Amino acid sequence: MRNIDILKVLVSSRALAVAFILFAFFLSCSEEEFLKEEPLDFLTPENAYKTPEGIESGLIGMYSDIRDNWFRLANQAHTLHGNGTDVGYDGETPGGQRFLTNYETSVTPQSPEIRDWWNSAYRNIQSANVLIRAINEVDGDLWKNDAQKNSLLAEAMFFRAWAYRLAVILWGDVPLITEVIEEAKVDFIRTPKQEVYKQMEVDLTFAAKNLPARGHEALPGRLTQGAAYHLLTEVYLSQNKCDLAINAATTVIEKLGYGLMTERFGAQNDVLGSGDVYWDLFRYGNQNPPLNTEAIWTIQFEPKLELGGSDHYWSGIYGPRIFSLGAAPDGKPAFIKTFSDTLGRQVARTRGTNLVFYDVWKGNWDNDIRNAEHNIKRNFYYENPESEYHGKKIDLSDYAPGSRNLLKDTTNYIYPFFMKGWEPIVQATIADPNRGGGGAVSTDFYAMRLAETYLLRAEAHLCNNNDQIAAAKDINEVRGRANAIPVLPADVDVDYILDERIRELYFEEWRILTLMRTNKLIERTRKYHDNPMLPGANIQDYNNLFPIPQSEIDLNIESEFSQNPGYN
């Protein structure tokens, strides 16, 4: 088995390690004698985390939990990436009641999605706290050296900060928990977010110092110093600590061995007729260093491993449901079996807005490689030799007037498809051939890459006395790789950076977090969210923070646990 697969195998075999972590979280018995017992014949954090090897297993469990909750199970997390913002809405049921279709009715203290995100974030925090305590309690003689101990401690502290990043952006003031919770607790308080950020800085500063350098991580997908500095940049930006944000980003960009990929590399798979370096960034097998100097942290997926494979469904969520188009204009089936370029079977749960598909490309439509047909597939063709339309481009105007449901056609069946989320032909051969036409993908997913670090530093330059010249220079590093016309300093503002993030990071970034952090969610959703059934998603002024789950408030009976404004 290739070394690159080892972490993927370990992460896929996560259940036991996660069970160790969750035991402490859900332990609620109050009998003192029971709590003093030392279990010898079953695994718990008390006896599993007494060695560096046990700690390592627990950390692998955390990688697995984060992968499955935030990057694999798209039905839970995909709305963080697009829906209900300036970049997307539910194309499958634009007039339905799904989460973030209508803020006023779906973003409530009773929303199951919000409850699940809260629980997932605090499960990660508890898991990290269990590991941090265990690392500090391991017999000192068992460590090879201080560097081994501190490296594992740095991973756990990074994960705690990573989970708090989600919590503090979504909910503002949240309970700051740095100790293991071992029994039922009903007196939590909401800690001011400034104190939460302070703890995140402590965790990430330690992580940045003690995580391995790029290229020295134990396995692909394990954290390195670059990930800590990248997240630290965002933490500083969230507090308007502009100079510190610039310094953290500069460390990633200039001092740790990263670099934007500017030449074609790795597996190219130019099945759509052409390709470029941006296309290559998202091909199967191209995500991990040393091949890829742009990748900072990648979430690992792998099909058909001996101990079980894995995939994610982002392509299925974002892609148009073209297989449901039905008949060609002559009444014959538009498609038979599959498509020549194996576009899979998508469900259109997140359809891009016109801002994403058209507006941000104006002025660079033909030269920006990120908008090339192989990167954003805009043209689809009938595929049925029995139809006179076989091989012709699908054009809805060819149908008889009134014969089509235009809403379904344009929001669900046909719209531009960002190919960064799909692996034509390859996905049908590397995974189960019987599922080759599905929407699941086994290509590794970027949690962080250097292009975003440049855009974060550009944002920090604006924060720092509105230094548009320095901001434009960073943005143009990203645009230069894409062959886009350089932006003039006078044209750079936060909205321009947010547009550039669409061009570079659509499908990758957690858009709602970016907009909440920059205080742009309300303004840009009202301006660009063009769901034809509910423009603007009925977003309210108070939606820049989400409500605390009502279940958390109800359980917290021994102290005041206030709700965010607007949700009472």
pLDDT in tens, 127-186: 999 999 999 999 999 999 999 999 999 999 999 999 999 999 999 999 999 999 999 999
Distances from the Cα of 191 to the Cαs of 31, 188, 330, in angstroms? 29, 9, 64
pLDDT classification of 17: cutoffs 50, 70, 90? very low
Average pLDDT over residues 353-366: 98
Helix or strand run (H / E) with residue 89 = strand 88-89
Residue whose entry in the numeric block shows the structure tokens 């008949």: 327
For 418-437, give one letter per residue: b (16+ CB within 10 A) or e. bbbbbbbebbbebbeeeebb
pLDDT classification of 338: cutoffs 50, 70, 90? low
Structure tokens at 52: 């560096």
Distances from the Cα of 416 to the Cαs of 331, 366, 377, 425, in angstroms? 24, 16, 6, 19
What are the phi and psi torsion angles at 524 (to 5°)?
Answer: -75, -30
pLDDT in tens, 224-278: 999 999 999 999 999 999 999 999 999 999 999 999 999 999 999 998 889 999 9
Helix and strand numbers, DSSP H then E, in the chain: 23, 6
Rounded to an integer, what distance in angstroms lies between the CA atom of residue 15 and that of residue 23? 12
Strand 295-299 relative to strand 376-377, pairing: unpaired
pLDDT score for 273: 87
Average pLDDT over residues 211-215: 96
pLDDT score for 41: 46
C-beta of residue 324 within 8 angstroms of C-beta of residue 91: no
pLDDT score for 340: 53
- Give yes or no for residue 14 having a pLDDT over 80: no
Q: Give 191's strand partners.
A: 174
